[in-house]
Amino acid sequence: MITSAFPPALGELWRKHFYDAIRVSLSLDEKADISSRDLLRSFFADNGTVTKKLLDDATLKIKGNDCVIFGAGPSLEEDLKGLQNYILRKRPVIVAADGAADALALHEIIPDIIVSDLDSCSFKNLKACSQNGVVFAHAHGDNMNLVRAIVPKLGENKIGTTQVETKKPVYDFGGFTDGDRACFVTSFFSPRKLVIAGMDFGTGEGEFSLNRYGQPKNPKRPLKLEWGKKSLEFLIENSPSIRFLNVTAQGVEIRGLSKVPYSVVI
């Protein structure tokens, strides 16, 4: 059973440390973020009963085990190939950040968890994961149309996340981009080892990170990714019990996390 108090302590700490700075830097609308969170809440009519069971199940699955988190950066395909034997042999918990789930599907790898703000991953794979795994669906001020269109059509296995204050059953686990948020979500359940792949955090965009719903390209995306990197560095610094490994083939250096070859993980 879950023993940590809600809201997740590290998520609350992240919000106090980052949210206002990010909001000013990227001209975010806090009222819109709150409205999107509350819209997302409206699709959880069970008062959190299902959410609590899903969180308990995730604890049993992840605690003390190995996890691999795939971001949707330019290194994704190379990293998938480099880790394929490890995944087949060791069967770690697989977490996909948004569109990375589509790349995994092409390699016949089924994620246990998808962390998504709903703008890149195909509905087909979101739906499948919401029936056979867990989708952590994120609400922010720029995706209310996607929350409204997609979340009600997902299966029962979904948990809501926000970047403003937790309001059950929608939680702020911490993190800003899908990639670093996936790391915060997974870390909450106390894995033994967390392998990070496909998280370049550079200026280039991966094929599977592109918006599939026609929303305009964000000119501040490089700055957004910089905040994502800082968030991940904050998580690593505050999670001494977890062994983090970064196998991302390209991309920028992450403070406190040296890159290692695939052979170290295998």
Cis peptide before 240 (omega within 30 of 0): no
Mean pLDDT of 23-36: 97
Structure tokens that stand for 135 in this block: 């989708």
* pLDDT tens track for 179-233: 999 999 999 999 999 999 999 997 667 677 766 656 556 667 889 999 999 999 9
Q: Which residues contact 250 (CB under 8 A, 6 or more apart)?
A: 73, 74, 75, 78, 200, 202
At 266, the pLDDT band (50, 70, 90 cuts) reads confident
* pLDDT tens track for 55-102: 999 999 999 999 999 999 999 999 999 999 999 999 999 999 999 999
Least confident of 10-19, 42-51, 206-215, 246-255: 206-215
Are 68 and 179 spatial neighbours (Cβ–Cβ below 8 Å)? Answer: no
* pLDDT tens track for 132-180: 999 999 999 999 999 999 999 999 999 999 999 999 999 999 999 999 9
pLDDT at 6 over 50: no
CA–CA separation, 133 and 153 (whole Å)? 15
Mean pLDDT of 44-52: 79
pTM of the model: 0.94
At 50, the pLDDT band (50, 70, 90 cuts) reads confident
3-state SS, one letter per residue, for the chain? CCCCCCCCHHHHHHHHHHHHHHHHHHCCCHHHHHHHHHHHHCCCCCCCHHHHHHHHHHHHHHCCCEEEEECCCCCHHHHHHHHHHHHHHHCCEEEEECCHHHHHHHCCCCCCEEEECCCCCCHHHHHHHHHHCEEEEEECCCCHHHHHHHHHHCCCCEEEEECCCCECCEECCCCCCHHHHHHHHHHHCCCCEEEEECCCCCCCCCHHHCCCCCCCCCCCHHHHHHHHHHHHHHHHHCCCCCEEEECCCCCCCECCECECCHHHHC
